[in-house]
Structure 1
Amino acid sequence: MEASELRRIIRQTLREFPWYESALREQGCLRARDEDVPLAELPLMTSERLEKHYYTPNQPLGRRPDLRCYRTSGTSSGLRKAIYYSENDERAYAEIKSRMFAWFLAGTGVRSALSDMGTGHAADTAAGIFARIGLQAESISFRLPVEKHLERLEKLRPNVLYTMPSILDNLLRAADDPLRFRIRKVILVGEAAAPAWIAGAAERLGIRETDVMDTYGSIEIGTIASYSHEHGRYVIAEGLGAEGLRTIPMPARGEPASLADDESILTLTSSVRETFPAVRYVTYDVVRDLRPIRVDGALRQSFQALVRRIGPELKHGEKISVYDIEDVVYRHAGQAIVRIEVAGGKLRVHVGGGIGAEKLAAIGADLRERIPEIGRMVEGGLLEELQVLALDEDSLAEESSIKHKKIYYS
């Protein structure tokens, strides 16, 4: 990122968020207000800093009628996160995403798209983005059962399906013959999609792996990256500067990072975000082999794979946080041991303390209620059940150290 561009971003952040000045002062780089400072010297935008200054009940942005507000899962204080978008933010998001989609769909002759997404910013903006690139777009409500989704797919037979891996997994499982949908292209968003899973999904739909584009983003930043089959890597989106850090301050209930030599924690600086302080924003996502590559003659930052999340949040259709899960468990079972397992897009919560089946069922019901959108999608068969299981604490003690983390992947 050019020094002049970074200086502009810093000044804009100071105007919108006066508290950022104290962060610069604490970091010993208050001079960044007036002179060029290397990006690596600026303070990190950690979850603690955001909870203290941005995710607050008295956030001044909440009083501005010209902003859109999107909410996601909880903070350590129990508040739902509120993330704001200005008109310029929305415009930049739509422009970047529509160019990304247009590049992927160029020369294919596709004319129609169906968005089967659940809720959130990506779902709300899907129709408008497809319209920008000349596609007729439809959507289907996540509140409907999976059978209705299959009926809509067979009736519309969209050229492009825009969905989440977990939803597509369930659609394919429920469909007798997915070839009848005549889908030609798939764009994924949400949870990370493994190459082997993409290959299997493409085969069932009767398309090539290269007809599936996986994208990665967050409500805070917007679109972060998309997978390029030509390069075999995820390419960072326009308007973003990416760093890979080996050490960061961890959230209160996050796990210390244990990284392989080629892994790093993705940290982003946005040149287009106005109403979120996206200067060295720590995603808490671990990526593999972050490095620049040449794309269409220009250097673009890229990574090989999105490995895992080390912070207090994980993705299961929507974001759901460790804070929310622990809070529900503790209300039913006191300070029980909680282990969260992510396996193939399925979410399992293991609870220690020898509690019975009745309490485990109550915890599961409460978890679905805590994140209502996920509860509705589970009930409709679009997402796997959130399983709540008794933790075998004896066998846990004998397992490798990774199994002792709050979140583990199997």
Structure 2
Amino acid sequence: MIGLAAPARAQQSLDNLVEYQPAVTEPAAAVDQRVEAAVGEPLYLPPREIEPPPDPTDQGWDIGVQLGAAYNDNIFLSRTSPESDVIVRVTPKIGWVNGREGGEGGYLSIIYRPSGVIYLDHGSENRIDHELVVAASYEGRRTGVAYKGGFRRLGDPQSELGGLNSDRTEYANEIRLIWRPKEKIGVQVAAGQTTQDYDQAVLTDADSSYFEAGLEYAYSPKTRFLVAYRNGRTEIDRAPKQTFQQATVQMIWQPREKWKVNLRAGIESRDYVQGGDTYGVFDGRVEWAARAGTSLFVAGYRREDVSAVFAGQNMEVLGVSAGLRQKLGEHWVATLEGGYESSDYKRVAGTGAANRSDEVIFVRPALEYSVTDDFRVGAFYRYERNSSNNVAFGYDNHQLGVDLEYEF
């Protein structure tokens, strides 16, 4: 599933909220959320030829619950004074789905997930997170329209912020129109907006909006290309606005059931109050079902984000990740994921040197047992390290936990 354009700084795509998220007990920066998020990816209307047939069991109410508990040895991601705790998370889910995304006719999906987050020793950190995602589309014979939007109220620590309070509110919306004058040719136009608003006044809020026009070509039922141009602006709290232009080419290729390839690359030009810069951008993911019960993925991205910590600075971000999923018998599944992300800061407004550079790595093995088709339990370990050259940031973080999920 392809997601919304991301906010002006590294964040998990709102589209990921409608997918199952393992390790719901991980309150830390969770760099894999950023590694796996396809930033800047618009909501395309997929070709029906490669979509699976409709499943009547996917219609109607979608209700479930996730429960988890994890020991975390550095809950505030502090470099010098780590504090540990056991964190319990309770996440009910209620949703409603009608139709099939990408299929002819109408489609509507509404998913709401509140999360109660309980710290056994640091009770003042207890909170309730909220996530709401709405997706709607209509596909006719030659025209289509799609909307995806969401709201999140979150408080999990973030890698860039270190020990700073990260309570925040996020919004994202996009509407996309398509016209197919010929069988293999489509014209797309889209407009979108993302907002990130921190409660803490010392952190930088950002609001980004954009317009995009693109031309798609369906080379075959399993291969599609999209050439797109995007123009936008980012309003930044306590710093001058930035404008950007982006030209990209995307390939969605599914040659057979074992392979799924989604790659996008291009050039972005960004104008600041103190000049501008042009650089390459890309994001993509390749999945391979090597054999029955064994699947692998490789993902990566490169982009520029606005810093939430340092007003007038941007981050050049590069990330890669890989993972393996292996079935062990009828009920057991083992997974192993790892990733790397670098963030190099640069001054784009104001005075003073930008002297921060972060390198984050993580590894996460996990084991899952399916009690029934609707009920699963799992255990995980996660190690994450931020080797920042700024003495105020950087951390080591170990987490060990269990979780379960039940779908009604």
Q: TM-score range by the shorter chain?
A: under 0.3
User: Per residue, is there more strand in 1 or in 2?
Assistant: 2
User: Per residue, is there more helix in 1 or in 2?
Assistant: 1
